[in-house]
């Protein structure tokens, strides 16, 4: 029971953050919620053996990223919504920027995007990123560099005024 | 870096409220835990089942190893070298094999005798050849119309199978290096109950090669311990004339 309490506390503290990371990876809030649920469910399965909070965070990151990459490899398992139905009103100014930025982010390859999200959003070190992605630090560095190039190129195509190339990282 | 982070933060504006509850997460987690336990148990059962499947033939094979009681058939009046060879021969053979190892069957270190393998009596010979294993083989077998099969490629051992007469087959196995004495073990089935297929090694080939290797080891070890030289080369024809048939 005490274990479940600890898990509930972790869930309350980290679920929103994990969902945000997942959203930056997949670009869809419902899918981000699915990934978050998958990550916490798998963490719960091994929770009795987890003693370190830092380990739990790293485990969550790793599951989210791998689950997202797996989804990309198995598109036939993915839900296909008929249309994007906005279920709530959006403010005009913010939504336009968001859609453009999201589209640009969507053009960055999955592993490069994962590097960018972990390094610049989740504030992971190169070593932590490498551990989460299951690759070497050298791969993280090269993927990060290429990811930034891709993001610059994507933003340059759609809205060059939104972010200048020099501003990025 | 701050600009990249700011860009991500802008993407995250309009974040909907979290609709995820702890209940479904825990439910799914328990299901994953159960499934993993089930897979672990199934894996253990599968490994145990596979292990027992492998263990049965292995145990059968172990039962075929010769017991030390087989040495009881070795007579007391043999020379030390003959005794060494006889002990190696009995130790390397299945417990169902019974040799006639009496003194009259020996000519120095050569043995021409019979063996009862549990299915009937068979002619059996052990000879030692200092050099040129293949030449000895051809000379010994005479009309060797059968095929030569490599037994152990790494030591050059070979086994031949040939038909002496309709329904009578012989198997002959040699091993050893060209620089040292080779061992030749021959087993002839006068009335074969199982026809030997020409293209395949004889049924007892594996056992004969094992016997030849073990006898050869014992022979070389004995000579090395005595500081003796291997005997002069003899031709197969001489050995057959001297050994005769049982």
Q: What is the pTM of this model?
A: 0.47
Mutate to test the interface with A, among B1, B11, B32 (most CBs of A within 10 A): B11
Angle at alpha carbon of residue A147, lines to A144 and A151, rounded to 5°: 140
**Phi, psi for residue A35 in degrees, rounded to 5:** -65, -40
Query: What angle do helix axes B236-243 and B133-141 make, rounded to 10 degrees?
Result: 50
- A72-76, A81-85, B16-20, B108-112: segment of lowest average pLDDT: A81-85
**Phi, psi for residue B83 in degrees, rounded to 5:** -65, -40
- Point out the residue among A11, A16, A95 whose CB comes nearest to the CB of B25: A11
In the block, which residue shows the tokens 């050569």? B110
| Interface contact flag, A33 B1, Cβ < 8 Å | no
Checking if the pLDDT of B185 tops 70, the result is: no
pLDDT in tens, B204-245: 445 566 666 677 777 777 877 777 655 543 333 343 333 333
B-chain residues near A95 (CB < 8 A): 14
Longest dimension (CA), chain B: 105
**CA-based nearest residue to B89, from B108, B64, B123, B115:** B115
Checking if the pLDDT of B75 tops 50, the result is: yes
Between B38 and B201, the higher pLDDT residue? B38
Checking if the pLDDT of A159 tops 60, the result is: no
pLDDT score, position A138 = 92
Q: How confident is the model at residue A142 (pLDDT cuts 50, 70, 90)?
A: very high
B36 to chain A, any CB pair closer than 8 A? The answer is yes
B-chain residues near A38 (CB < 8 A): 28
pLDDT score, position B242 = 37
pLDDT score, position B123 = 67
What's the Cα-to-Cα distance from A48 to each of A4, A6, A8, B33, rounded to whole Å? Answer: 9, 10, 13, 11
Contact A155/A169 with Cβ under 8 angstroms?
A: no
* Residue B245 to residue B236: CA distance in whole angstroms: 14
Q: Mean pLDDT: which of A115-119, B112-116, B168-172 is highest?
A: A115-119
Tokens of B52: 């027992």
Half-sphere exposure in the Cβ direction for B172 (13 Å, CA): 29
pLDDT score, position B144 = 36
pLDDT score, position B157 = 55
pLDDT score, position B29 = 87
pLDDT score, position B235 = 39
Please enumerate, as own/partner, the contacts of B135-139 that have beta carbons within 8 Å and a separation of 24 or more.
Answer: B136/B174, B136/B182, B136/B184, B136/B233, B136/B235, B136/B236, B137/B172, B137/B174, B137/B184, B137/B236, B138/B236, B139/B235, B139/B236, B139/B237
- Point out the residue among B10, B22, B31 whose CB comes nearest to the CB of A101: B10
**CA-based nearest residue to B109, from B72, B83, B135, B73:** B83
Kindly provide the ipTM of the predicted complex, given to two decimals: 0.72
Q: How confident is the model at residue B186 (pLDDT cuts 50, 70, 90)?
A: low
Contact A70/A34 with Cβ under 8 angstroms?
A: no
Checking if the pLDDT of A71 tops 80, the result is: no
* Residue B200 to residue A58: CA distance in whole angstroms: 61
Report B:151-190 residues touching A (Cβ under 8 A): none
Checking if the pLDDT of B142 tops 50, the result is: no
pLDDT in tens, A29-70: 888 888 898 889 888 888 888 777 677 888 888 888 888 877
Q: Which residues contact A22 (CB under 8 A, 6 or more apart)?
A: A31, A32, A33, A35, A36, A39, A64, A68
**CA-based nearest residue to B159, from B93, B101, B207:** B207
pLDDT in tens, A80-139: 554 554 444 444 445 667 777 888 888 888 888 888 888 888 888 888 888 888 889 999
Average pLDDT over residues A131-155: 87
Sign of torsion over alpha carbons A74, A75, A79, A84: positive
Chain-centre distance of CA B126, in angstroms? Answer: 18
Q: How confident is the model at residue B140 (pLDDT cuts 50, 70, 90)?
A: very low
């Amino acid at each position: 029971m005490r274990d479940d309490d600890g898990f509930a506390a972790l869930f309350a503290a980290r679920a929103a953050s994990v969902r945000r990371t997942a959203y930056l990876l997949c670009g869809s809030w419902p899918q981000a919620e699915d990934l978050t649920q998958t990550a916490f469910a798998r963490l719960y399965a091994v929770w009795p053996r987890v003693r370190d909070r830092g380990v739990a965070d790293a485990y969550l990151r790793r599951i989210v990223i791998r689950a997202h990459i797996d989804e990309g490899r198995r598109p036939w398992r993915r839900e296909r919504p008929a249309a994007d139905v906005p279920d709530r009103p959006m403010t005009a100014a913010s939504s336009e920027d968001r859609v453009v930025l999201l589209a640009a982010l969507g053009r960055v390859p999955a592993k490069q995007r994962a590097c960018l999200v972990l390094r610049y959003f989740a504030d992971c070190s190169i070593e932590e990123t490498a551990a989460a992605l299951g690759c070497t630090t050298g791969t993280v560095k090269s993927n990060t560099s290429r990811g930034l190039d891709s993001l610059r190129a994507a933003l340059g195509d759609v809205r060059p005024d939104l972010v200048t190339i020099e501003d990025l990282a | 870096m701050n600009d990249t982070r700011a860009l991500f933060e802008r993407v995250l504006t309009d974040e909907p409220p979290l609709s995820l509850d702890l209940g479904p997460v825990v439910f799914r987690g328990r299901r994953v835990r159960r499934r993993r336990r089930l897979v672990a148990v199934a894996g253990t059962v599968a490994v145990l089942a596979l292990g027992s499947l492998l263990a049965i033939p292995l145990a059968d094979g172990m039962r075929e190893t010769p017991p030390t009681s087989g040495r009881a058939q070795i007579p007391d009046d043999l020379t030390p070298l003959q005794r060494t060879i006889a002990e190696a021969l009995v130790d390397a053979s299945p417990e169902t094999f019974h040799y006639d190892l009496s003194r009259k069957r020996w000519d120095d270190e050569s043995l021409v005798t019979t063996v009862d393998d549990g299915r009937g009596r068979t002619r059996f010979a052990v000879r030692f050849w200092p050099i040129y294993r293949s030449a000895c083989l051809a000379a010994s077998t005479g009309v060797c119309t059968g095929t030569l099969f490599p037994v152990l490629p790494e030591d050059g051992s070979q086994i031949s199978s040939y038909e002496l007469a309709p329904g009578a087959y012989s198997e002959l196995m040699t091993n050893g290096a060209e620089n040292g004495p080779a061992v030749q073990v021959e087993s002839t089935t006068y009335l074969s109950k199982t026809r030997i297929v020409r293209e395949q090694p004889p049924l007892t080939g594996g056992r004969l090669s094992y016997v030849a290797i073990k006898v050869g080891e014992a022979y070389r070890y004995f000579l090395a311990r005595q500081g003796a030289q291997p005997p002069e080369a003899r031709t197969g024809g001489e050995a057959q004339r001297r050994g005769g048939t049982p």
